[in-house]
Structure 1
Amino acid sequence: MTTAPNSRVLTATSADGSRLHIEVYGSEGAPAIVLIHGWTCSTLFWAAQIDDLAADHRVIVYDQRGHGRSPAVGRHGYSTDALADDLEAVLGACLAPGEKAVLAGHSMGGMTLMAASARPALREHAAAALLCSTGSSDLVAESLVVPMRPGRLRTRLTRMILGARGPLGPVTPVSKRLLRYGTMGPGAAPDRIAVCARIVHACPRAVRVAWSHVLGTLDLDAGVRELRVPTAVVVGTADRLTPPVLARRLAGELPDCVGLTELTGVGHMTPVEAPEAVTALLRGLTGDHLGAAADETEESAA
């Protein structure tokens, strides 16, 4: 749970009528950062970044549809287009016309940025971006969750695991060990494993399964090439879900990649497992790009 000051709750309505829960921290008029969580997570995932950045930024977080306090939708309401629609709705609800922000997405949140890269709202509001522990395609084929050689069998087993319909149940020592294996580095702190377990286990089973089908057939390669703002990429070297090969591919395809950071020994849940490193990258992006973007906005309005 975050301890940041000046929290405000908003609701945005997406293109299909879906409602999205939004939380805003920090002072109005401060430089804006929008944080987009990933599959099975919620706004709670960004607590460390909110606590640090809200002191001198306006931090905007929202629950992806079906996660946290954003209601679930019908079975046809889960798609990459829906991710892009939802982000557009959030930006429209939280930012003034022409106002710029740094946008950061973890895992499916990064995919949200790729899905929305050609949307007018993103081009209007994005000053820079951070793609955190994510990929644009081949997620199942490249996943290292199943410890065997690449091939059709590993891909099939991985797809079965990620799309499993069984309930996660209560958080237990066994479930925390499984979560650490799949999503975090071998040296992850027990308290951070526990935080991630509580967040992931809170995701409704139907929502988890619905999004797993979207991720299993993901192809956002074209969206990477449309993400034309300065973009940094970060990945943990022990990431089994979106391993470094996917991050390196992103860095090579982005029109304006401003850095690839590989965090030694860190797993998939980088903002929780290595919060200082992720927060430092966000501060670097705001310092390098958001001030200049704000100045350009003011000049164009004059």
Structure 2
Amino acid sequence: MSRTGTPRRPAHVTSGPFAPPAPARTLTAVSADGARLHVEVHGPEGAPAVVLAHGWTCSTAFWAAQIRALAEDHRVVVYDQRGHGRTPASADCSADALADDLEAVLAATLAPDEKAVLAGHSMGGMTLMAAARRPGLRAHAAAVLLCSTGSSQLVAESLVVPLRPGRLRTRLTAAVLGSKAPLGPVTPVGKKVLRYATMGPGAAPDRVEACARIVHGCARGPRYAWSRVLAELEIDALVRELRVPTAVVAGTADRLTPPVHARRIAAALPVCVGLTELTGVGHMTPVEAPEVVTERIRELVRTYVAVEEDVA
């Protein structure tokens, strides 16, 4: 996104397993307030559907590994959240806007009675929780996967600033995560900072590189605007409204949304079908542990989408 709000192609790796594949088709979904969302569809028409929502400062490129693995026998829908990737920024940055956008994407890509597995990472998981009461989610969600996410107290419980819990740590964390400073080009120092804040200590260099290019491709304005929304997020009550089978994945080395968030969500979910904690993995679970996340999505499709199709 440029400073003027014109969509730009997100920065990312251009080869290897973490390069995003070319979509079978692209389209624009129009949200409730007129926001125009960039949407990509991968894989064969008629295959079981999976809808993936990325997190803060990311883009459709974040799901490259899952798209490549799933698109052979699934129809994979990915979209850029407003202000990210190729979706223009909007004046409305809120949890309700995230839910509106998800409903618009589901309506634009799924048949009226079609069920899908919905997966969200970080802010994408918050999107799914924010939409828990929405007719669109209830009509289309066969099952949900929440990766590395939280529903409240995101700043207070972050471990990015290595201090004891308290007001000082909270203030410093808010300043760090809500910084308006430009990220600039990807450099060795920048990759070290990103790895510390968002990935596990054993993350492979190519995965750090992929995440750095995606995150550094997010424009400063939307990055700051959404940081303010996340700092004040409080959607605990909506977790209890997510009444479809829901699996949770978290990394034990996640500093942004430590495992306490995943455990709290899993305990509150009406139909929790498993909490997976990945030892030594940080916040970027779909990139750091792509095989695990992909297989969890496959399991949900096999178990719940097939059941829905048989009932129909």
User: Where on the TM-score scale, by shorter chain, does this alignment land: which range?
Assistant: over 0.9
Pick from 143, 158, 161 the counterpart of residue 176 of structure 2: 161
Structure-2 residue corresponding to 1:187: 202
Moved over 4 A (4+): none
Structure-1 residue corresponding to 2:165: 150
Pick from 222, 228, 234 the counterpart of residue 249 of structure 2: 234
Structure 2: 5+ residue runs without aligned partners? 1-18
What per-residue deviation string (whole Å, max 9, x for no partner) do you get for residues 18-72 of structure 1?
0000000011110000000000000000000000000110000000001000011
Structure-2 residue corresponding to 1:60: 77
Q: Which amino acid aligns with 1:2?
A: P
Find out whether 1:2 has 2:20 as its counterpart.
yes
Find out whether 1:101 has 2:119 as its counterpart.
no
Pick from 254, 279, 287 the counterpart of residue 272 of structure 1: 287
Structure-1 residue corresponding to 2:31: 14
Pairwise CA distance, 1:7: 1.5
Pairwise CA distance, 1:294: 2.0
Equivalent residue pairs, number? 294
Pick from 38, 44, 47 the counterpart of residue 55 of structure 2: 38
1:109-124 → structure 2 map (5 Å cutoff):
109-124=124-139
Q: How many angstroms apart in 2 are the aligned matches of 1:103 and 1:280?
A: 14
Q: Which amino acid aligns with 2:60?
A: T
Pick from 79, 87, 91 the counterpart of residue 70 of structure 1: 87
Find out whether 1:215 has 2:212 as its counterpart.
no
Q: How many angstroms apart in 2 are the aligned matches of 1:233 and 1:47?
A: 20
TM superposition score normalised by structure 1: 0.96
Structure 1: 5+ residue runs without aligned partners? none
SS in 1 for 2:155: helix
Pairwise CA distance, 1:295: 2.4
Structure-1 residue corresponding to 2:10: none
What per-residue deviation string (whole Å, max 9, x for no partner) do you get for residues 187-230 of structure 1?
00001000000000000000000000000000010110000000
Q: How many angstroms apart in 2 are the aligned matches of 1:34 and 1:44?
A: 14
How large is the RMSD of aligned CA atoms in angstroms?
0.8
Q: Which amino acid aligns with 1:51?
A: R
Q: How many angstroms apart in 2 are the aligned matches of 1:151 and 1:30?
A: 49
Instruction: Name whichever structure is richer in helix by fraction.
Output: 1
Q: How many angstroms apart in 2 are the aligned matches of 1:96 and 1:3?
A: 24
SS in 1 for 2:270: coil
Structure-1 residue corresponding to 2:193: 178
Find out whether 1:47 has 2:94 as its counterpart.
no
Q: Which amino acid aligns with 2:171?
A: R
1:235-250 → structure 2 map (5 Å cutoff):
235-250=250-265
Pick from 27, 44, 48 the counterpart of residue 44 of structure 2: 27
Pairwise CA distance, 1:2: 2.6
Q: How many angstroms apart in 1 are the aligned matches of 2:292 and 2:142?
A: 20
Q: How many angstroms apart in 2 are the aligned matches of 1:78 and 1:128?
A: 26
SS in 2 for 1:60: strand
Q: Which amino acid aligns with 2:85?
A: G
Q: Which amino acid aligns with 2:268?
A: E
Q: How many angstroms apart in 1 are the aligned matches of 2:157 and 2:207?
A: 26
SS in 2 for 1:142: coil
Q: How many angstroms apart in 1 are the aligned matches of 2:181 and 2:20?
A: 30
Q: How many angstroms apart in 2 are the aligned matches of 1:293 and 1:165?
A: 46
Q: How many angstroms apart in 1 are the aligned matches of 2:309 and 2:35?
A: 31
Pairwise CA distance, 1:98: 1.1
1:281-292 → structure 2 map (5 Å cutoff):
281-292=296-307
What per-residue deviation string (whole Å, max 9, x for no partner) do you get for residues 114-154 of structure 1?
10000000000000000000000000011000011101110
Q: How many angstroms apart in 1 are the aligned matches of 2:182 and 2:85?
A: 17
SS in 1 for 2:240: helix
Q: Which amino acid aligns with 1:61?
A: V
Q: Which amino acid aligns with 1:95?
A: L
SS in 2 for 1:193: helix
What per-residue deviation string (whole Å, max 9, x for no partner) do you get for residues 239-267 of structure 1?
00000000000000000000000000000
Q: How many angstroms apart in 1 are the aligned matches of 2:24 and 2:275?
A: 32
